[in-house]
Amino acid sequence: MPPQALELRNNLLTKSPYLSDTAMQSAISKEEVLPNEMIRDVLVANPQSASSDKVLQELDNRAIPMPDSMMAEILANENIISAKEALETELASHKAKRAQAKYELIRYYKSDTLSSSSHDSLITLYQDETDLSLKYSLAFEFLKKGDSGNLENTIASIPSTFDLDQGESDIYDDYVSLFSILQDEPNTLRMDSANLSAIQNLYNTCHEPVKSCARNILIARGYIDYHEPILLPDNLKSSKEKKWYKTGKFVENSYMKIFPNPAKQHVIIEYNLKEKFNDNNKTLIVLRNINGNKVYQMILPKRQDQELINTSGFISGIYICSIIVNEKILESQKLIIE
């Protein structure tokens, strides 16, 4: 809810730079809670946001567009590898090394025809893995062993072990059909015409990788001719498409805009110093209470931006917010803190 905006923003920043795209999209969609300044802080703290089309599309859907200079801050991280992406890259490297070791082990067991334990070692390896494709490989090993009970149990357990999407469910049904044919005659070179006809029908209707398995059986029996396709590389260079996103403009008729006003936990100062800003000028935002006492001050580092001020520790009352350039007040506005 809106009163929790500052707490939510700080919570998101605490978990940065490791926010997922889903978390950032959810934060962006809560426009009634998190204003542009808070969203900018969160996305800049998570550089991976600049390279996520889903995050940027959600940002483009906001009713109040992100101001152009703040959008530029977000997009400036497009070519930066974030801490989250670096960690994901390292994790992917470890997973790739593990997968390579696993398939080297599988290759070793399959090529070892002298040791009687290699087949059992292969089954044990498949049983210990949580990869869906290896469960089908395990079923093939039980088929070779003639162990129809374990084969059927392995296949039957897949829907309850894995959360199959529609495509995976279709492939599962194809495997069920394939194994029902192969259990009738595991030796494909001795298959009768009825089983080969069933394999032919399966080949015409099933999905990969079952389709390739059925095709290989038909090729081995001379039922079909097959020529492996040759895939040629595309000689054209490609680059990421430049996309344009909706942005908003800063206030034009004044130097400063304050919201929400009245404020409770926080207030955002939107400012546009136009020609007044340069590196030689000392530019400040100053808050004074009704008695003229200074209660807050910050240096403005940019020509235009939005700055968040935590007002949860301020006493309720009327304050004067001023932009001061070289000790001269450029503009002042009243701020009410409840």
Residue 104: which pLDDT band, with cuts at 50, 70 and 90?
very high
Angle value at C-alpha 196, between 142 and 211, nearest 5 degrees: 65
263-292 burial code (b ≥16 CB/10 A, e <16): bbbbbbbbbbbeebbeeeeebbbbbbbeee
Cβ-in-10-Å burial (0-12, 13-18, 19+) of 125 comes to middle
The domains of the chain, with CATH numbers, are 2-75 (no CATH), 114-220 (no CATH), 250-337 (2.60.40.1930)
Amino acid at site 263 = A
Single-letter amino acid, residue 319: Y
Q: What DSSP string runs through 13-45? A: HHTTT---HHHHHHHHH-TTTS-HHHHHHHHHT
Sign for the pseudo-dihedral over CA of 204, 209, 210, 216? positive
Model pTM above 0.85:
no
Beta-carbon neighbour count of residue 25 at 10 Å?
A: 19
Summarised one tens digit per residue, pLDDT across range 29-72 is 998 889 888 898 999 999 888 888 899 989 888 888 888 778 88
Pull the structure tokens for residue 333: 């506005």
- DSSP assignment letter at 77: T
Contact 210, 176 (CB under 8 A): no
pLDDT tens digits along 180-239: 999 988 888 888 989 999 999 999 999 999 999 999 999 998 888 888 888 888 777 666
